Amino acid sequence: MLDLIDAWLLAPFGYGFMRRAAVAGLALSLAAPPLGVFLMLRGMSLIGDAMAHAILPGVALGFLFAGFSLPMMSLGGIISGLLVALLAGSVSRLTGHREDSAMASFFLMSLAAGVMLVSMGGSSVDLTHVLFGSILAVDSTALVLIAGIASLIVLVLAAIFRALVVDCLDPLFLRGQGVRGGLVHGTFLGLVVLNLTAGFQTLGTLMAVGLMMLPATTARFWSQRLEGLIAIAIALAVLASFFGLLLSYHLGLPSGPSIILLAGMAYIFSALFGRQHSVVARFRRRVAPLESTPPAA
Protein backbone atom coordinates (compact mmCIF):
# COMPACT_ATOMS: atom_id res chain seq x y z
CA MET A 1 0.00 0.00 0.00
CA LEU A 2 2.69 2.44 1.03
CA ASP A 3 4.66 1.42 -2.01
CA LEU A 4 1.70 2.25 -4.16
CA ILE A 5 1.29 5.71 -2.58
CA ASP A 6 4.98 6.27 -2.97
CA ALA A 7 4.97 5.21 -6.60
CA TRP A 8 1.87 7.25 -7.48
CA LEU A 9 2.15 10.37 -5.36
CA LEU A 10 5.73 10.90 -4.35
CA ALA A 11 8.08 9.24 -6.79
CA PRO A 12 7.19 11.54 -9.71
CA PHE A 13 8.44 14.49 -7.68
CA GLY A 14 11.88 12.91 -7.59
CA TYR A 15 12.36 14.57 -10.95
CA GLY A 16 13.45 18.21 -11.01
CA PHE A 17 10.99 19.17 -13.74
CA MET A 18 8.07 17.77 -11.73
CA ARG A 19 9.18 19.63 -8.59
CA ARG A 20 9.47 22.88 -10.48
CA ALA A 21 6.11 22.29 -12.14
CA ALA A 22 4.51 21.63 -8.74
CA VAL A 23 5.93 24.83 -7.24
CA ALA A 24 4.85 26.85 -10.27
CA GLY A 25 1.35 25.35 -10.03
CA LEU A 26 1.22 26.11 -6.30
CA ALA A 27 2.28 29.73 -6.83
CA LEU A 28 -0.38 30.24 -9.50
CA SER A 29 -2.97 28.49 -7.37
CA LEU A 30 -2.43 30.99 -4.57
CA ALA A 31 -2.63 34.09 -6.76
CA ALA A 32 -5.18 33.29 -9.46
CA PRO A 33 -8.32 32.09 -7.60
CA PRO A 34 -8.86 35.25 -5.47
CA LEU A 35 -8.79 37.30 -8.67
CA GLY A 36 -11.27 34.87 -10.20
CA VAL A 37 -13.58 35.24 -7.20
CA PHE A 38 -13.70 39.02 -7.64
CA LEU A 39 -14.17 38.73 -11.41
CA MET A 40 -17.06 36.35 -10.84
CA LEU A 41 -18.68 38.55 -8.18
CA ARG A 42 -18.45 41.58 -10.45
CA GLY A 43 -20.20 39.66 -13.23
CA MET A 44 -16.99 39.74 -15.30
CA SER A 45 -16.29 36.02 -15.54
CA LEU A 46 -15.61 36.24 -19.25
CA ILE A 47 -13.30 39.25 -19.01
CA GLY A 48 -10.49 36.88 -18.03
CA ASP A 49 -10.87 35.18 -21.38
CA ALA A 50 -10.76 38.49 -23.22
CA MET A 51 -7.64 39.50 -21.32
CA ALA A 52 -5.97 36.19 -22.14
CA HIS A 53 -6.34 36.98 -25.81
CA ALA A 54 -5.14 40.50 -25.22
CA ILE A 55 -1.73 39.41 -23.95
CA LEU A 56 -1.12 37.25 -27.02
CA PRO A 57 0.28 39.86 -29.45
CA GLY A 58 2.75 41.08 -26.81
CA VAL A 59 3.92 37.55 -26.12
CA ALA A 60 4.31 37.00 -29.85
CA LEU A 61 6.30 40.22 -30.27
CA GLY A 62 8.59 39.23 -27.40
CA PHE A 63 9.06 35.87 -29.11
CA LEU A 64 9.84 37.52 -32.46
CA PHE A 65 12.45 39.84 -30.99
CA ALA A 66 14.14 37.66 -28.40
CA GLY A 67 13.28 34.10 -29.37
CA PHE A 68 12.01 31.78 -26.66
CA SER A 69 12.85 34.07 -23.75
CA LEU A 70 10.31 33.96 -20.97
CA PRO A 71 11.11 37.37 -19.42
CA MET A 72 10.80 39.11 -22.80
CA MET A 73 7.62 37.27 -23.71
CA SER A 74 6.12 38.04 -20.29
CA LEU A 75 7.05 41.70 -20.55
CA GLY A 76 5.44 41.89 -23.98
CA GLY A 77 2.34 40.16 -22.65
CA ILE A 78 2.04 42.51 -19.69
CA ILE A 79 2.40 45.56 -21.90
CA SER A 80 -0.11 44.49 -24.53
CA GLY A 81 -2.56 43.24 -21.88
CA LEU A 82 -2.45 46.50 -19.95
CA LEU A 83 -2.68 48.46 -23.19
CA VAL A 84 -5.83 46.65 -24.28
CA ALA A 85 -7.40 47.05 -20.82
CA LEU A 86 -6.55 50.75 -20.90
CA LEU A 87 -7.84 51.22 -24.46
CA ALA A 88 -11.05 49.34 -23.75
CA GLY A 89 -11.56 51.38 -20.56
CA SER A 90 -10.94 54.68 -22.35
CA VAL A 91 -13.13 53.86 -25.33
CA SER A 92 -15.98 52.88 -23.04
CA ARG A 93 -15.51 56.05 -20.98
CA LEU A 94 -15.23 58.35 -23.99
CA THR A 95 -18.06 56.88 -26.03
CA GLY A 96 -20.35 55.78 -23.24
CA HIS A 97 -20.47 52.24 -24.62
CA ARG A 98 -20.36 49.41 -22.16
CA GLU A 99 -16.90 48.21 -21.22
CA ASP A 100 -17.56 44.63 -22.30
CA SER A 101 -18.33 45.60 -25.90
CA ALA A 102 -15.13 47.66 -26.11
CA MET A 103 -13.21 44.80 -24.50
CA ALA A 104 -14.67 42.29 -26.97
CA SER A 105 -13.65 44.44 -29.93
CA PHE A 106 -10.10 44.91 -28.72
CA PHE A 107 -9.49 41.33 -27.71
CA LEU A 108 -10.59 40.05 -31.10
CA MET A 109 -8.15 42.43 -32.77
CA SER A 110 -5.43 41.32 -30.36
CA LEU A 111 -6.07 37.67 -31.02
CA ALA A 112 -5.83 38.16 -34.76
CA ALA A 113 -2.69 40.28 -34.41
CA GLY A 114 -1.14 37.74 -32.05
CA VAL A 115 -1.80 34.74 -34.28
CA MET A 116 -0.48 36.65 -37.29
CA LEU A 117 2.72 37.63 -35.45
CA VAL A 118 3.35 34.11 -34.21
CA SER A 119 2.85 32.57 -37.63
CA MET A 120 5.12 35.18 -39.22
CA GLY A 121 7.98 34.31 -36.91
CA GLY A 122 7.72 30.66 -36.04
CA SER A 123 6.23 27.28 -36.71
CA SER A 124 2.86 26.02 -35.58
CA VAL A 125 4.57 24.21 -32.70
CA ASP A 126 5.47 27.61 -31.20
CA LEU A 127 1.88 28.74 -31.46
CA THR A 128 0.66 25.66 -29.66
CA HIS A 129 3.17 26.33 -26.92
CA VAL A 130 2.04 29.92 -26.45
CA LEU A 131 -1.64 29.01 -26.55
CA PHE A 132 -1.49 25.90 -24.38
CA GLY A 133 1.81 26.17 -22.47
CA SER A 134 3.81 23.35 -21.01
CA ILE A 135 4.16 23.24 -17.29
CA LEU A 136 6.73 20.46 -17.47
CA ALA A 137 9.17 22.74 -19.29
CA VAL A 138 9.40 25.35 -16.50
CA ASP A 139 13.07 26.14 -15.80
CA SER A 140 14.47 27.96 -12.77
CA THR A 141 14.29 31.43 -14.38
CA ALA A 142 10.66 30.86 -15.27
CA LEU A 143 9.95 29.57 -11.77
CA VAL A 144 11.43 32.68 -10.14
CA LEU A 145 9.42 34.88 -12.49
CA ILE A 146 6.17 33.01 -11.80
CA ALA A 147 6.70 32.97 -8.03
CA GLY A 148 7.67 36.67 -8.07
CA ILE A 149 4.58 37.72 -10.01
CA ALA A 150 2.33 35.53 -7.87
CA SER A 151 3.74 37.10 -4.68
CA LEU A 152 3.28 40.59 -6.09
CA ILE A 153 -0.34 39.81 -6.96
CA VAL A 154 -1.11 38.54 -3.47
CA LEU A 155 0.51 41.59 -1.84
CA VAL A 156 -1.20 44.16 -4.07
CA LEU A 157 -4.53 42.39 -3.72
CA ALA A 158 -4.16 42.52 0.07
CA ALA A 159 -3.45 46.25 -0.17
CA ILE A 160 -6.50 47.09 -2.28
CA PHE A 161 -8.76 44.45 -0.72
CA ARG A 162 -11.06 46.69 1.32
CA ALA A 163 -11.33 49.28 -1.44
CA LEU A 164 -12.12 46.54 -3.95
CA VAL A 165 -14.84 45.03 -1.76
CA VAL A 166 -16.48 48.42 -1.17
CA ASP A 167 -16.18 49.25 -4.87
CA CYS A 168 -17.89 46.00 -5.86
CA LEU A 169 -20.84 46.60 -3.55
CA ASP A 170 -21.35 50.33 -3.88
CA PRO A 171 -19.00 52.22 -6.22
CA LEU A 172 -20.76 55.49 -5.45
CA PHE A 173 -19.88 55.25 -1.77
CA LEU A 174 -16.21 55.03 -2.63
CA ARG A 175 -16.47 57.91 -5.08
CA GLY A 176 -18.24 59.93 -2.43
CA GLN A 177 -15.25 59.37 -0.19
CA GLY A 178 -12.97 60.89 -2.79
CA VAL A 179 -11.43 57.57 -3.87
CA ARG A 180 -11.29 57.12 -7.61
CA GLY A 181 -13.12 53.87 -8.22
CA GLY A 182 -11.51 53.70 -11.66
CA LEU A 183 -8.10 53.48 -10.03
CA VAL A 184 -9.12 50.50 -7.89
CA HIS A 185 -10.77 48.81 -10.86
CA GLY A 186 -7.75 49.52 -13.09
CA THR A 187 -5.29 48.15 -10.55
CA PHE A 188 -7.41 45.04 -10.27
CA LEU A 189 -7.50 44.50 -14.04
CA GLY A 190 -3.72 45.05 -14.04
CA LEU A 191 -3.41 42.18 -11.56
CA VAL A 192 -5.51 39.98 -13.83
CA VAL A 193 -3.15 40.72 -16.72
CA LEU A 194 -0.10 40.00 -14.54
CA ASN A 195 -1.59 36.73 -13.42
CA LEU A 196 -2.33 35.62 -16.96
CA THR A 197 1.19 36.45 -18.03
CA ALA A 198 2.57 34.40 -15.16
CA GLY A 199 0.28 31.58 -16.15
CA PHE A 200 0.91 31.44 -19.88
CA GLN A 201 4.29 29.69 -19.60
CA THR A 202 2.82 26.85 -17.58
CA LEU A 203 -0.75 26.59 -18.82
CA GLY A 204 -0.76 28.71 -21.96
CA THR A 205 -2.59 31.99 -22.46
CA LEU A 206 -5.94 30.27 -22.88
CA MET A 207 -5.68 27.66 -20.12
CA ALA A 208 -4.36 30.18 -17.58
CA VAL A 209 -7.88 31.60 -17.37
CA GLY A 210 -9.12 28.20 -16.25
CA LEU A 211 -7.08 28.15 -13.05
CA MET A 212 -8.44 31.61 -12.27
CA MET A 213 -12.14 31.13 -13.00
CA LEU A 214 -13.02 27.46 -12.48
CA PRO A 215 -12.06 27.27 -8.77
CA ALA A 216 -13.93 30.52 -8.18
CA THR A 217 -17.13 29.43 -9.90
CA THR A 218 -16.88 26.05 -8.13
CA ALA A 219 -16.48 27.69 -4.72
CA ARG A 220 -19.78 29.52 -5.24
CA PHE A 221 -21.53 26.17 -4.69
CA TRP A 222 -19.92 25.73 -1.27
CA SER A 223 -19.80 29.10 0.42
CA GLN A 224 -21.69 32.36 0.56
CA ARG A 225 -19.00 34.32 2.35
CA LEU A 226 -16.16 36.14 0.65
CA GLU A 227 -13.46 34.61 2.84
CA GLY A 228 -14.99 31.19 2.32
CA LEU A 229 -15.11 31.63 -1.44
CA ILE A 230 -11.46 32.66 -1.61
CA ALA A 231 -10.22 29.91 0.72
CA ILE A 232 -12.17 27.18 -1.07
CA ALA A 233 -11.11 28.45 -4.50
CA ILE A 234 -7.44 28.40 -3.50
CA ALA A 235 -7.73 24.91 -2.02
CA LEU A 236 -9.43 23.64 -5.18
CA ALA A 237 -6.79 25.20 -7.41
CA VAL A 238 -3.96 23.67 -5.36
CA LEU A 239 -5.57 20.22 -5.51
CA ALA A 240 -6.30 20.48 -9.22
CA SER A 241 -2.73 21.56 -9.98
CA PHE A 242 -1.17 18.80 -7.91
CA PHE A 243 -3.32 15.93 -9.11
CA GLY A 244 -3.47 17.29 -12.64
CA LEU A 245 0.31 17.13 -12.77
CA LEU A 246 0.32 13.56 -11.46
CA LEU A 247 -2.29 12.49 -13.99
CA SER A 248 -0.35 14.05 -16.78
CA TYR A 249 2.83 12.28 -15.59
CA HIS A 250 1.33 8.84 -15.19
CA LEU A 251 -0.94 8.80 -18.21
CA GLY A 252 1.24 10.83 -20.55
CA LEU A 253 -1.39 13.56 -20.94
CA PRO A 254 -0.67 17.25 -21.62
CA SER A 255 -0.35 18.95 -18.24
CA GLY A 256 -2.34 22.17 -18.75
CA PRO A 257 -5.56 20.53 -19.95
CA SER A 258 -5.23 17.82 -17.25
CA ILE A 259 -5.18 20.47 -14.52
CA ILE A 260 -8.03 22.49 -15.98
CA LEU A 261 -10.18 19.42 -16.70
CA LEU A 262 -9.76 18.27 -13.10
CA ALA A 263 -10.92 21.69 -11.93
CA GLY A 264 -13.77 21.39 -14.43
CA MET A 265 -14.81 18.05 -12.97
CA ALA A 266 -14.87 19.64 -9.52
CA TYR A 267 -17.16 22.32 -10.96
CA ILE A 268 -19.60 19.81 -12.42
CA PHE A 269 -19.62 17.76 -9.22
CA SER A 270 -20.27 20.91 -7.19
CA ALA A 271 -23.01 22.13 -9.49
CA LEU A 272 -24.75 18.81 -8.87
CA PHE A 273 -23.99 18.17 -5.21
CA GLY A 274 -22.69 21.43 -3.68
CA ARG A 275 -24.05 22.89 -0.44
CA GLN A 276 -25.41 26.14 -1.96
CA HIS A 277 -27.69 26.46 -4.97
CA SER A 278 -26.62 23.13 -6.48
CA VAL A 279 -29.14 20.90 -8.20
CA VAL A 280 -29.35 18.54 -5.23
CA ALA A 281 -29.41 21.34 -2.66
CA ARG A 282 -32.42 22.82 -4.39
CA PHE A 283 -34.32 19.55 -4.19
CA ARG A 284 -33.25 18.75 -0.69
CA ARG A 285 -33.78 22.13 0.94
CA ARG A 286 -35.85 21.71 4.03
CA VAL A 287 -38.05 24.50 5.18
CA ALA A 288 -36.92 25.63 8.62
CA PRO A 289 -39.79 26.25 11.05
CA LEU A 290 -40.26 29.67 12.60
CA GLU A 291 -38.57 30.13 15.95
CA SER A 292 -41.73 31.35 17.65
CA THR A 293 -44.74 29.11 18.22
CA PRO A 294 -48.08 30.04 16.69
CA PRO A 295 -50.54 31.77 19.02
CA ALA A 296 -53.10 29.46 20.59
CA ALA A 297 -56.40 29.47 18.76
Q: Between 66 and 156, whose beta carbon lies closer to another protein?
A: 156
Which range in 22-30, 49-57, 111-119, 177-185 contacts another protein by CB under 8 A? 177-185
SS3 sequence of 66-100: HCCCHHHHHHHHHHHHHHHHHHHHHHHHHHCCCHH
x/- track of binding to another protein for residues 30-59 (CB under 8 A): -----------xx-----------------
Which range in 79-87, 172-180, 210-218, 277-285 contacts another protein by CB under 8 A? 172-180
Which range in 5-13, 118-126, 144-152, 159-167 contacts another protein by CB under 8 A? 159-167
What is the nearest approach in angstroms of another protein to the Cβ of residue 169? 5
169 binds another protein (CB under 8 A): yes
Q: Between 104 and 179, whose beta carbon lies closer to another protein?
A: 179
- Distance CA(220)–CA(236), nearest Å, equals 12
Task: Tell me the site size for another protein, rule CB under 8 A.
Answer: 25
| Contact positions with another protein (CB under 8 A) in 227-246 | 229
φ/ψ of 294, rounded to 5, equals: -70, 150
Pick from 177, 250, 272, 273: which binds another protein (CB under 8 A)?
177
159 binds another protein (CB under 8 A): yes
178 binds another protein (CB under 8 A): yes
Q: Between 106 and 188, whose beta carbon lies closer to another protein?
A: 188
176 binds another protein (CB under 8 A): yes
Residues that bind another protein (CB under 8 A): 41-42, 159-163, 165-166, 168-170, 172-179, 223-226, 229
